[in-house]
Amino acid sequence: MNAADVNLYLVGFMGTGKTTIGRAVAARVGFQFIDSDHQIEREQAKTIPEIFAEKGEAAFRAMERAFVVEGHPGTRAVVACGGGLVVQPGNLSELQARGVVICLHASVESILARTSRFRHRPLLEVEDPAARIRELYAVRAPIYRRAGSMILTDARPLGDIVNHVLRAWRHEAKDWVRQRSAT
């Protein structure tokens, strides 16, 4: 495969900017943009809060698993993954087999500011969302750390982050193709 066609998977905590950055990066390179949450919402004809309320988190995680196994694109796609997708065993290695994985990162303060304006993240609909973010981030941090290169999205213009992601992706796509052709 040509390095210029390799998929990009954006992972990381809620509110780190996966959906926003992913859409912008896809537009820059003319790739298809896919968001795991949007695809699941379309398939279920329900919003994420409705799925959590009516079917529970475990059912949502099974939908994410199905997205990884069946709903993934061939090539030339940028995929923004819901924040908990790579926490489920096996999902990260599936993504890494299909393209370059980059992890977005942000401080608890930025995440809180970015997520508090919206009510579509059921896991943060609690009395003390800052404490919940810290708690969840602590559990997930080791998984995010081994997911792929980390890009910080705090207090930076979106255009800078998009350029940084593009550079990291181009660089890693060459290694990804080299490693695959060596095996």
Alpha-carbon separation of residue 53 from 41, 129, 139 (angstroms): 14, 18, 23
Q: Which stretch binds ligand ADP (CB under 6 A): 88-96, 131-139, 156-164, 170-178?
A: 156-164
What residues contact residue 37 under an 8 Å CB cut-off, 6+ apart?
19, 48, 80, 82
Q: Which of 10, 12, 17, 19 binds Mg ion (CB under 5 A)?
A: 19
Alpha helices in 146-183 (DSSP H): 158-182
Please name which of 112, 122, 146, 106 lies closest in space to residue 54, comparing C-alpha atoms. Answer: 122
Minimum CB separation of residue 2 from ligand ADP in Å reads 28
Q: State which residue, 1 or 123, has the beta carbon closest to ligand ADP.
A: 123
What does 158 bind: ligand ADP, Mg ion, ligand S3P, none (CB cut-off 5 to 8 Å by kind)? ligand ADP
Q: Which stretch binds ligand ADP (CB under 6 A): 65-73, 91-99, 150-158, 162-170?
A: 150-158
19 assigned ligand-binding residue: yes
Q: State which residue, 133 or 176, has the beta carbon closest to Mg ion.
A: 133
Integer Rg of the chain from CA: 16
The position carrying tokens 């030339």 is 76
Please name which of 119, 84, 79, 114 lies closest in space to residue 98, comparing C-alpha atoms. Answer: 79
Q: Which stretch binds Mg ion (CB under 5 A): 19-27, 113-121, 135-143, 157-165?
A: 19-27
Residues 112, 5: Cα–Cα separation, whole Å: 35
Q: Which of 8, 11, 16, 26 binds ligand ADP (CB under 6 A)?
A: 16
36 touching Mg ion, by CB under 5 A: no
Residues 57, 147: Cα–Cα separation, whole Å: 22
Q: State which residue, 1 or 61, has the beta carbon closest to ligand ADP.
A: 61
75 assigned ligand-binding residue: no
